[in-house]
Every structure is written in C-alpha cells, then in structure tokens.
Structure 1
Amino acid sequence: MISLRARFLFFLVRISGLKDRLLKPGRDEKFIARDHARGPATPGRWLRKHCDIEQVEVNGQPLFRLNPRAKGSSLHIFYLHGGGYAFNIVSLHWHFIRKLIRRTGASVTVPIYPLSPENKWDVSYAMVMEAFEQAVSLHGAENIVVMGDSAGGGFSLGLTQMLRNQRKTLPDKLVLLSPYLDQTAADSTQVELEKTDILISIEGIRRLGSWWMRDGEDPAMFPASPLFETVDGLPPMLVFAGSDEVLLADALRLKQKGDQEGAEIELKVYDRMQHVWMLLPIPEAKRALNEIVDFLLTAKA
C-alpha cells in the first residue's frame, strides 16, 4: 500500500506538468542552460559540520571527498549522481548522502562529472575513471561500494564493466537506484510504463541519450548503454526500481541478464513507486535505505 505522503508528493509532480513541459521544443535546452549557469549544489550544513570535506579537481572537474569526523568505518561509497547526464547534482542528492553517512559512518567520494550536451560520454567516463582510481589508492577497492541513481546508476554499472574489461581492480559491491541503462528506450513494455510514470518519458530518454552520444554513434553501444554489455564477473549488485516508472524495464532486463550470465543481482521492485523515490522524504524511502544499509554492512560470503 502506497503511503499518503508518497501519494501526495507524486500528485504534486503530476499536476505540475513537469514531464510535459520538459518535452516542449526548446524548453528542455532552457532548463539545462539555467541549471548549468547555476552550477552544482554543494554539501549542506550537516555535512559541513560532521565531515572533513576536501574539494579537489580531477581532469578539470570538481570532486568532493567527505570523511566523517567520527571515525570507525572502512566503508567508502563512490557516489555518481543522476540527472540524465545533463543536469547538475542537487541538494536532494546531498541529503541522501548525509543519510548514508549517518547510518554507516562511510567516507564518500562524489565526482561532479562533465555534463552533456557540452560533453560526451567519453569525456565523462575519463574523469570518473580517474576519480575511481584515486579512491582505490586512498581506500582500497575491497572497501568501496559504487552507487548511483538514475543516470548515475547507469554510470555506476558502465564504470564497473569498463574496469572489468580493462582487468582493473573492481569495487566490492554495486548499488543502482532506478538505473538508466539503455539510451534506445526500445523495450516494448515502456509504452505502458510511460502512462504511469510522472516524470520520465520515452522521448526524454532518447533525447538525453542523443546529447550524450557523439555524432553517428549507435545509442545501444557500450558504455553509453551498459545494459547491452555482459555482467558476468561483476561484484554483487543491489538494484531498486519502482513499478510505475519507465526505467523499471531496464532493471528487469538487467536482472534477467544477470540470471542468464551467473551474476549476483538482487532486484527490489517497490509497488506504485516512481523514479528515484528512495531519495524522497517518504516512508518507502526509509524502507529502501534500511535495505541499502543492510547490503552495505553485510560482509560477502
């Protein structure tokens, strides 16, 4: 049963018409231009009070390292934010990172990767790969969990597949939150899912994908669409999706792919939930956070 708070928040998003407004010709470009001019959100008051925060540059891009002043955990979270590869990190992401730190005591790396349409996937991946290798040198790969929401979830999977393909050290675990894994949005079930999704559209997925691809590239290519690359040999994975979001199709296909290839993937589908609900102030998000924390703190067999 969906909570009253979730029902109310989803109702507000639906009546706001945000999904339709973003699809009007020229409107999405204006949203992105405004977002890029404003710049990324930065860590809030609680994080500044309870963490030592280091801001450095990697490949000319900002990167935040957060280390809780109350030491005690070797766990390190490498977090990749969502936003369709085109939008900056927002305060909602930092609030979620705050919750992760409070519950686990983990240190966190947050790369502010290059955004589209000015930058393409190769530039963004180069920055994130360098940021990850720095995190490994500081914390050890065996202590790192790579986590991301939406496009950040796709980025997390693609990064780990790329590390495997290059025979580099892999993180200990992966957590994907409503992951955006397929730029083609060609799954037949997404036509029906689009009717219940209050934020994401098939056209929007394809448009965002086209901005992240270089001219003439196939939207199904790896790593831009990590769903089409093998998942065998990857670390244990915890994946969340909502039953009412278009990207449920990506999560279901990832789980099916994992079952076929012998990957350890646990999929949690929450009834009536929308895109990245786990970041929202609703009871269902608290339940998801509990499951994430259990996964993070449970040692591998």
Structure 2
Amino acid sequence: MSIQATLIKAVTRRTIKRYGLDEEQLVRHLRKVFNNSPSLTLMPFGVKLNKVNQPGFEGDRLSVSDPQMTVLYIHGGAYIGGVTKTYHNMAARLAKQLKGEVYLATYPFAPEHPFPAATDRVMEAYEYLLGLGKAPEDIVIAGDSAGGGLTLATLLRIRDQGLPQPRCAVTFSPGSNCFPEDSILDALDPSDAMLSADIIRTVIDIYVPDPAQRSNPYASPCLGDYSGICPLMITVSTDEVLYSDAKRVRDAAQKSGVEVEWLERGGLFHVWPVMTPLLPEARQDLKKVSAFIRRHG
C-alpha cells in the first residue's frame, strides 16, 4: 500500500466516518464532506470540460477533440450528496485513455427525492445519449458507490424496457443491497476507513424510506436477474463495508451468464480508483478499467 493511500485513509477516517447520527444529521454531514470537493483539477492536455444543461441531461462533459467512445458516469455520495467536480481528474484521464468523452451526470438526492427519482434521472441520461445518435456499442455506463448501484439499476432497466445494452459497465464499490447482514457489516466496520456500518443502515432508511420498495432490484440490484446484461467490471476493497454488496452482485451476474471482471484489493479504501492522479493504485487500476472497456469493442 502506498504512502498516499495511508494518508488518505487517515484523513477519511477522521472526516467522513461517523457513528450515531440520525437521518437529518447524516444528510448534513455527508453533504458537507461530499459537496465541497477539496481536489485540485489537473486536466490532461487535449481534454476539454463543458457544462451540459439539456432537458434529458444535466452535468459535465469531458472530451478529447474527436471522441470515439462515450462513458456515462454516475457519481457517488450515498444517494444524498456529491458533486461532479470531484470526478473531473478521473473522468478527464479516462477520456484521454479511451480517446473518448465522459458525461458526468447529476441526479436528484434523497431525502427530498427518494427512490426511484435518481434511477429515473440516470435512465433519462442514457436515453439522452441514444437520442444524440450515440451507438450503444460505443457507450459505457460507470459509477462509484451509490453511483455504482445506480449503474446496475440502469442496466436492469435498460434490459427491462427493451433498449439496447451499452458496450459494458464498470462499478467501483457499488452499493447494491437494502438488506445487509448485520454480522457482515459489523465485521467489516473496523477496517473500513471511510464508511461505517451505521452510515450504511441509515442511508438505506433515507434513500428507500418505504420498506416495501427495498426488494425492488432497482433499489437492491444484488437481487436482480442479470440475464442479457452487458459485461461488467467490479472493483472493491476487501476492507470496506460494501465488500459483501459487490460480491453479491458478482455472484448474481455470473449466475445469469454475464462476463464479470473482478478486481479486489486489500488495504485500500472505498472507491479508490476515483483518486487519480494522486494515488498510485488509482492510476494503475484506471488503466485496467480502460483496458476492460477497450477489450469489449
């Protein structure tokens, strides 16, 4: 594990990880830490950033001059917060490596807009890209944490609505289960440097307040039938509370015959690939993500 990873883990444990917050306190806390991105944007040469504000899509577009591929990226933030600016460094490098473009989508947050508002908005974003004339085989859907869960939900919705699947999909530490096993969460809690078992349980109550909706595969994608879903890459740290969520998605997808590329690392933290270019492990693994995407052309 790199020195940078050790430092980031120390900082996130101090600034993000919390216990005992009620729903209102957790919303305030996570919006404070996730909506005020401290990261400095270091754009690689040849990548341009533009804002997009259209009826079907709001967010950012980072692109090379003649993009050959399109990534729809759904940011994380526990379905409660997050800003696209946090992802400019990673998205710009992904665009550069793929000779493509990355659309960073915004979506409505809980508790003001609980499930299924976010899934509806991401589905609109995919339809927006199809409406621009993007070929589905040139589109990749990707996301981290809550955005990983939304990515999986969108793949299931695309299939269920009879639309063409994208080329492939990538999820970093996807949140995918509204019915976590307490014993597993509690066992992983001490090693997770960012999220606590407490946070996960409270986020579920905030995002899907109606218990009857929690078994919907769009809310708990690990419960879905993945028949007909595109190839999928999953990255996860063995130290994080969402490790079991990622494994359940992998198992469900493989059971349905979906090709899954699995990348796990010990000693790292939740959604580490997002931390490029500052983190050496993120730089290494983003190249693996790009290779996975290129391979499925």
CA contact (8 A) 2:75 2:143 kept: yes
1:46 is paired with a residue of what secondary structure?
coil
The offset of 1:135, in angstroms, is 0.5
Q: Which moved more, 1:101-110 or 1:222-231?
A: 101-110
Partner of 2:283: 286
Paired residue type of 1:64? D
The offset of 1:12, in angstroms, is 2.9
Whether 1:262 aligns to 2:257 is yes
In the alignment, which of 69, 73, 79 is matched to residue 85 of structure 1? 79
CA distance, structure 1, for counterparts of residue 296 and residue 263 of structure 2: 20
CA distance, structure 2, for counterparts of residue 214 and residue 118 of structure 1: 11
- Decide whether aligned partners of structure 1 residues 93 and 33 sit closer, same or farther in structure 2, where only a CA change above 3 A counts: closer
The offset of 1:42, in angstroms, is 12
- Decide whether aligned partners of structure 1 residues 273 and 127 sit closer, same or farther in structure 2, where only a CA change above 3 A counts: same
CA distance, structure 2, for counterparts of residue 34 and residue 289 of structure 1: 27
In the alignment, which of 60, 64, 68 is matched to residue 60 of structure 2? 64
Partner of 2:47: 50
1:121 is paired with a residue of what secondary structure?
coil
Q: Which moved more, 1:187-196 or 1:99-108?
A: 187-196
CA distance, structure 2, for counterparts of residue 75 and residue 181 of structure 1: 27
In the alignment, which of 10, 30, 49 is matched to residue 28 of structure 2? 30
The offset of 1:285, in angstroms, is 0.8
The offset of 1:33, in angstroms, is 6.0
The offset of 1:44, in angstroms, is 5.1
Q: What do residues 171-196 of structure 1 show as CA deviations (whole Å, max 9, x unaligned)?
A: 11000111111122226433211120
Partner of 2:7: 8
Q: What do residues 42-101 of structure 1 show as CA deviations (whole Å, max 9, x unaligned)?
A: 995738983262421336x733334323x2x42100000000111122533121111111
Q: What do residues 123-179 of structure 1 show as CA deviations (whole Å, max 9, x unaligned)?
A: 222222111111122211110000001110110011011110121111110001111
1:148 is paired with a residue of what secondary structure?
strand
Q: Which moved more, 1:79-88 or 1:201-210?
A: 201-210
TM-score, normalisation: structure 2: 0.89
2:269 is paired with a residue of what secondary structure?
coil
The offset of 1:263, in angstroms, is 1.3
Partner of 1:111: 105
Which consecutive segments of 4 or more residues in structure 1 shift more than 3 A? 32-36, 38-50
1:156 is paired with a residue of what secondary structure?
helix
2:212 is paired with a residue of what secondary structure?
coil
Q: Which moved more, 1:139-148 or 1:105-114?
A: 105-114
CA distance, structure 2, for counterparts of residue 229 and residue 187 of structure 1: 21
Paired residue type of 1:13? T
Paired residue type of 1:74? Q
Partner of 2:157: 162
Partner of 1:179: 174
CA distance, structure 2, for counterparts of residue 89 and residue 174 of structure 1: 21
Whether 1:208 aligns to 2:203 is yes
CA distance, structure 1, for counterparts of residue 45 and residue 51 of structure 2: 10
Unaligned ranges ≥5, structure 2:
none
In the alignment, which of 179, 186, 191 is matched to residue 191 of structure 1? 186
Partner of 1:136: 130
Q: What do residues 244-299 of structure 1 show as CA deviations (whole Å, max 9, x unaligned)?
A: 11111111122222232211111111121110111222211111111001112224
CA contact (8 A) 1:242 1:248 kept: yes
Paired residue type of 1:257? A
- Decide whether aligned partners of structure 1 residues 66 and 18 sit closer, same or farther in structure 2, where only a CA change above 3 A counts: closer
CA distance, structure 2, for counterparts of residue 172 and residue 103 of structure 1: 17
